[in-house]
DNA sequence: GTATCCTAAATTGGCGCCAATTTTGGATAC
DNA sequence: GTATCCAAAATTGGCGCCAATTTAGGATAC
C-alpha cells in the first residue's frame, strides 16, 4: 500500500501546518527577533487551537528558532554574531565539498532547469514579495544541491539555513545585494557548464558569506 | 559523568525528560527498528502522562528517529542503507574539514584530556554497558570536535550522529570492531601530537566508515 | 515623591475526557 | 472451507478546563 504521508517534516509544504506559518512569519521578518510569542495571540492570528500553538512553539524551540523560558513563554531568537558566523562556516564546508560531484552529475537538462530557476529568482527581485524571493532562492539552491547526489545533505543544508532566521531580512534589505546574488547564480551555472570546480567553490563561498 | 540509566519497569523516573528516555532506549537497542510505539505502553513504561508521551513522540519524529503515520501511530525508523551511507559521507566531510584547526588548537592539556577519555572508553569496553560505551565514545569525540572551535558544528555532528540510530547496536556487536575503535582513538591522539593533518584525516574517515 | 509590598489580572502549562478512525475477531453466506 | 462483512474493542488525536506561576498596577508607609 502506498501509504506515504508527508508529515510536517522540513520539506517545503504549503501553509497548512501552524508551525510552517509561524516559521514563515519569522523568516519574512513579520515576527522580529526578541518578540515574545504569546499563545493567545498566535491562537487568534492563525485561527487555530491552543494545543496546535503549543506544538508549533515546541517544534520551533527544537529547531532553535525560538527560545523557551519556563513559565514565561517563547520568544524569537536574537541574532547571534558568533552563531551566524559558525553556521556560515558549516555551510561553506558542506556546499563546497560537493561541488565536484555537482559538476560531474549536471546534465544539459539540469543546467537548463537551473537557468530557469535563476531567471525566476530574477523575476521575483522585481515583481515579488520578500517571501516569494526567499522561496525562489531556496528552490534554486535546492536544485543545485540535489545534483550532489546526497539527499540527506540537501535536507541538512535546508535545515541549517533556517538557523540564521534573522539573516534573510536584515541582509536582503538592500537591492544591491539581491542583484549581486542574482548575478552570482548565473555565474555558478556558467562555472558548471565550463566544468571549473575551483571557480565554483570560490563563488559558493562568496555567495554564502554575503548572504 | 554519572549517567542515569533507566531500567524499564522501574517506577520513579522523576527529573529526566521522557524524550531522552525513549531516545536512549532506541539507541541502546531496547526498542528495535520497526517497533510500534503505542502511547499507552510508553505511558506505563516511563511512568508519565499522555501529553508527555505525545510531545516526546513528536520531537523524535522531528528528529526523524521515529516515523509518524496519521491515525496509526509512531514506529521506530528502520535502518536505511542509503541514508546511513549519506550520513556517513556528511560526517566525513564535516569532521575532516576541521582537522587542521583541531591540530592547531590542541594544547598539551587537551591531549592529556583526550587520552583520559580514550582510556575511559577502553575501560568501558571491558566493564561497561552498551550505553555507557556509547556515551564514552560520544564524550571522546565531543571533546575532539570542540577543539575545532565551532560550537555549532559540534552540536550538528552530535545531532546527525543520532540519525543512524540503529547503527550503534548493529555495528558494535562484535568486540573486534570496538577494539579497533579503541585503537583508532589512540592513533588519532598520536596524529594530533605529531601534527600530521593528512594522517588524521585518513583516520577520521576510516573511523566513521567502520562505525 | 519614592520605594515596597500586596492584591488582581494575565499567561503558561499540565491533565483528562471524548470523538474519529483503525484494527481485530467472529459470524454468516456461498 | 474460505471469503466477506459487520460489530466491538482499542488506539489515536483534538480540545478545553483548571491549577501554578508570573507580571502589572495600585495602595500604603516612610
Lowest-confidence segment of A8-22, A83-97, B54-68 by average pLDDT: A8-22
Q: Are A40 and A74 in contact (CB under 8 A)?
A: no
Are residues B153 and A89, on separate chains, in Cβ contact within 8 Å?
yes
Distances (CA, A) of A134 to A28, A61, A111, A140, A141: 8, 22, 21, 10, 11
Are residues A156 and B69, on separate chains, in Cβ contact within 8 Å?
no
What is the fold, at CATH topology level, of the domain defined by B18-76?
A: Arc Repressor Mutant, subunit A (1.10.10)
User: Residue B18, exposed/middle/buried by CB under 10 A (0-12, 13-18, 19+)?
Assistant: buried
Q: Is B66 helix (H, G, I), strand (E, B) or coil?
A: strand
Closest nucleotide to B73, Cα to C1': D12
Are residues B152 and A87, on separate chains, in Cβ contact within 8 Å?
yes
Are residues B90 and A86, on separate chains, in Cβ contact within 8 Å?
no
Other C-beta atoms lying within 10 Å of the C-beta of residue A111? 15
Using one digit for the tens of pLDDT, what is the confidence trace for A47-96? 999 999 999 999 999 999 999 999 999 999 988 889 989 999 999 999 99
Angle, helices B175-194 vs B130-146, to 10°: value is 20
Query: What is the CA A19 to C1' C29 distance in angstroms?
Result: 51
Distances (CA, A) of A10 to A14, A23, A83, B77, B160: 11, 11, 21, 17, 15
State the pLDDT at residue A176.
Answer: 85
Q: How confident is the model at residue B59 (pLDDT cuts 50, 70, 90)?
A: very high
Q: Which residue has the higher pLDDT, A77 or B173?
A: A77
- Give the C-alpha separation, B38 to B75, whole Å: 8
The distance of B172 to chain A (nearest Cα, Å) reads 23
Closest residue of A to B153, CA-based?
Answer: A90
ipTM of the complex: 0.85
Closest nucleotide to A54, Cα to C1': C13
- Give the C-alpha separation, A43 to A51, whole Å: 9
- Residues of chain B contacting residue A93, judged by C-beta atoms under 8 Å apart: 93-94, 97-98
A–B CB contacts, 8 A cutoff, strictly below: 62
**pLDDT above 50 (res B18):** yes
**Mean pLDDT, all residues of chain A:** 87
Q: How confident is the model at residue B5 (pLDDT cuts 50, 70, 90)?
A: very low
Structurally, at CATH architecture level, domain A81-210 sits in: Up-down Bundle (1.20)
Lowest-confidence segment of A189-198, B142-151, B162-171 by average pLDDT: B162-171
Using one digit for the tens of pLDDT, what is the confidence trace for A111-126? 999 999 999 999 999 9
The distance of B69 to chain A (nearest Cα, Å) reads 7
**pLDDT above 80 (res B173):** no
State the pLDDT at residue A186.
Answer: 97
The domain segmentation of chain B, as residue ranges, is 18-76, 81-210
Q: Are A6 and A40 in contact (CB under 8 A)?
A: no
- Give the C-alpha separation, B26 to A54, whole Å: 26
Closest CA to B24 of B6, B39, B46, B12: B6
Q: How confident is the model at residue A130 (pLDDT cuts 50, 70, 90)?
A: confident
Query: Strand C nucleotides below 7 A of a protein CB?
Result: 11-17, 21-23
**pLDDT above 90 (res A134):** no
Query: What is the CA B33 to C1' C28 distance in angstroms?
Result: 40
- Residues of chain B contacting residue A153, judged by C-beta atoms under 8 Å apart: 86, 89-90
Are residues B153 and A94, on separate chains, in Cβ contact within 8 Å?
no
Closest nucleotide to B70, Cα to C1': D12
Asked whether residue B15, judged by its CB, lies under 7 Å from any atom of the DNA or RNA strand C, the reply is: no
Using one digit for the tens of pLDDT, what is the confidence trace for B108-146? 999 999 999 999 999 999 998 877 888 899 999 999 999
- Give the C-alpha separation, A184 to B52, whole Å: 48
Are residues A7 and B97, on separate chains, in Cβ contact within 8 Å?
no
Closest CA to B150 of A166, A99, A93, A63: A93
Q: What percent of chain A has pLDDT over 70?
A: 88
State the pLDDT at residue B14.
Answer: 35
Give the distance from CA A26 to its chain's centroid: 12
What's the Rg (C-alpha) of chain A?
18
Amino acid at each position: 500500500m502506498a501509504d506515504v504521508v508527508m508529515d510536517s517534516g522540513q520539506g517545503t509544504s504549503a501553509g497548512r501546518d501552524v508551525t510552517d506559518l509561524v516559521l514563515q512569519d519569522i523568516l519574512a521578518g513579520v515576527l522580529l527577533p526578541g518578540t515574545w510569542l504569546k499563545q493567545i495571540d498566535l491562537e487568534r492570528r492563525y485561527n487555530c487551537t491552543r494545543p496546535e500553538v503549543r506544538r508549533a512553539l515546541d517544534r520551533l524551540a527544537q529547531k532553535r528558532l525560538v527560545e523557551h523560558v519556563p513559565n514565561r513563554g517563547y520568544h524569537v531568537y536574537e541574532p547571534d554574531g558568533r552563531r551566524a558566523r559558525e553556521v556560515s562556516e558549516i555551510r561553506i564546508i558542506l556546499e563546497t565539498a560537493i561541488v565536484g560531484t555537482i559538476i560531474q552529475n549536471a546534465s544539459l537538462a539540469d543546467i537548463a532547469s537551473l537557468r530557469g530557476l535563476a531567471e525566476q529568482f530574477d523575476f521575483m527581485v522585481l515583481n515579488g514579495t520578500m517571501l516569494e524571493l526567499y522561496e525562489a532562492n531556496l528552490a534554486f539552491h535546492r536544485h543545485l544541491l540535489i545534483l550532489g547526489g546526497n539527499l540527506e545533505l540537501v535536507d541538512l543544508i535546508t535545515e541549517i539555513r533556517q538557523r540564521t532566521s534573522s539573516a534573510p531580512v536584515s541582509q536582503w534589505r538592500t537591492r544591491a545585494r539581491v542583484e549581486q546574488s542574482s548575478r552570482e547564480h548565473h555565474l555558478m551555472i556558467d562555472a558548471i557548464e565550463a566544468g571549473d570546480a575551483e571557480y565554483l567553490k570560490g563563488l559558493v563561498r562568496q555567495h554564502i558569506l554575503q548572504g
